[in-house]
Amino acid sequence: MDSIIVRKSRLVGQVELSGAKNSALKLLTASLLTDESVEILRSPNALLDMQVHISMLKKMGKTCIEGGNYLKIEENNTITNELLWSERSIRNSLLILGSLTTRFGEGRVPLPGGCNLGDRKFDLHAMILEQMGAKVWEEEGYLCAKSTGKLKGCDIYLPIRSTGATENAILCGTLAIGRTTVWNPHIRPEILDLIEMLCKMGAMIEVFGQKCIVIDGVERLKGVKHTVVPDNMEAITWAIASVITNGDIEILNFPFEHLEVPLVFLRESGMKFYRGQNSLIVRGGSPYPVEISTGPYPGINSDMQPLFAVYGACSEGESKIVDLRFPGRYGYAEELARMGMRYSMEGDLLKIHGGKPLKGTSVKALDLRAGMAFLLAGLVADGETIIENAWQIERGYENLNEKLMKLIV
């Protein structure tokens, strides 16, 4: 979808959370580590990024059977150890490289987004493979890796808490010879979900908080049936939407254990919520200014801060946001200013001067989270809000239009 139109609305009713995209994509990659069947429940198959990844698996020789939120991945024939792919890519291809190399001793995948080997996001993945004994090189738009025999376990010291690098080190370590210890890992619910599924498959993995993850390599991994964790980003989105629209939403399958810290901040900033048996009921409330800084789990995820910015814009007073993980990640603020949000910058500090009514206009979704921030703003703005590049939102929110239509009163 190229664009969507959002109008001022109140949201009331029940909404069921989809499986977390950031978890499901990694589980699909993990299916490459076994020749047995992998069944994934609560799989957000309708998402654009999921469809790209499913197509990638098929391209390598896997058979994928979809049905609603069910996905079965089988290996009926020998799969290839290279991903020959010229269509839309996702950064998950780097994890595919790690999985192929640890299972087959070599792999070849397209460079994601035209990155070069010296780029930081890229370099960590190459570092992991090289430290485990593989040679890594770039060749005609592809990233290649090859090891003599199996990868070898080692101590991997991550210079930054990188989600992707942590995941790749885990995937590589499962079938490596000996013990792999990942120091300074980035622990998040999606990574814990990946570890849980891998352990069901026979992997030997132990987590020591943010200190380290220890993986003892095994000879092979077996098939598995696994349910994806609920999407905590979708959960916090509906919770904020309920407050700013003066709504009444019951969010089913709410992942309380993953959102304890964000909920504390939102409760102290005016959100009124109640805990059901397996749900969060957000009933009204009045948004107060927020002061947050993003940080490692269980803190506030960097992806959440654009949503908190809209919450702050809807409150009377000054809100402050500092993104400690990605300083200066405030490109969305300029677009929100077109809708009437007043803000200022002090170094890496974003100040939002709330209380001024928002007005509908045309805005461009810079990325997934910015796009959803604009949609939230559109639900409280006067007039029509037109969001261009709306396909960005489809990357992370399954069946969004259908869920919204059921809630709008």
Other CB atoms closer than 10 Å to residue 23's CB: what's the count?
Answer: 28
Average pLDDT over residues 383-403: 95
Q: What is the pLDDT of residues 218-251, one digit of tens each?
A: 999 999 999 999 999 999 999 999 999 999 999 9
Instruction: Report domain extents, the chain.
Output: 3-18+230-407, 21-227
pTM of this structure? 0.94
**Class of the CATH domain delimited by 21-227:** alpha beta
Residue 117: per-residue pLDDT: 38
Q: How large a percentage of the chain has pLDDT more than 70?
A: 97
Q: What residues are annotated to the active site?
A: 115
pLDDT at 112 over 90: no
Residue 122: per-residue pLDDT: 74
Q: Considering only residues 381 and 324, tell me which one the structure prediction assigns the higher pLDDT.
A: 381
Residue 121: per-residue pLDDT: 54
pLDDT at 144 over 80: yes
Q: What is the mean pLDDT of the chain?
A: 94
Residue 1: per-residue pLDDT: 67
Identify the burial level of 165 via C-beta atoms within 10 angstroms of its C-beta, where 0-12 means exposed, 13-18 middle and 19 or more buried. buried
Q: What is the pLDDT of residues 289-317, one digit of tens each?
A: 999 999 889 999 999 999 999 999 999 99
pLDDT at 116 over 70: no
Residue 115: per-residue pLDDT: 38
pLDDT at 119 over 80: no
pLDDT at 15 over 60: yes
Q: Which amino acid is at 33?
A: L
Residues 6+ positions from 119 with CB-CB distance below 8 Å? none
Residues 6+ positions from 303 with CB-CB distance below 8 Å? 233, 369
> What CATH code would you report for 3-18+230-407?
3.65.10.10
Strands of the 317-322 sheet, one edge to the other? 291-293, 317-322, 349-354, 342-346
Residue 325: per-residue pLDDT: 83
Residues 6+ positions from 382 with CB-CB distance below 8 Å? 8, 357, 358, 359, 360
Average pLDDT over residues 362-375: 96
How sure is the predictor about 67, in pLDDT bands with cuts at 50, 70 and 90?
Answer: very high
Residues 6+ positions from 347 with CB-CB distance below 8 Å? none
Taking a C-beta distance cutoff of 8 angstroms, is the pair 379, 359 a contact?
Answer: no
Strands of the 279-285 sheet, one edge to the other? 12-16, 248-252, 279-285, 271-275
Q: Considering only residues 2 and 393, tell me which one the structure prediction assigns the higher pLDDT.
A: 393
Q: What is the pLDDT of residues 154-184, one digit of tens each?
A: 999 999 889 999 999 999 999 999 999 999 9
Identical fold at 3-18+230-407 and 21-227? yes
Residues 6+ positions from 85 with CB-CB distance below 8 Å? 56, 59, 93, 109, 110
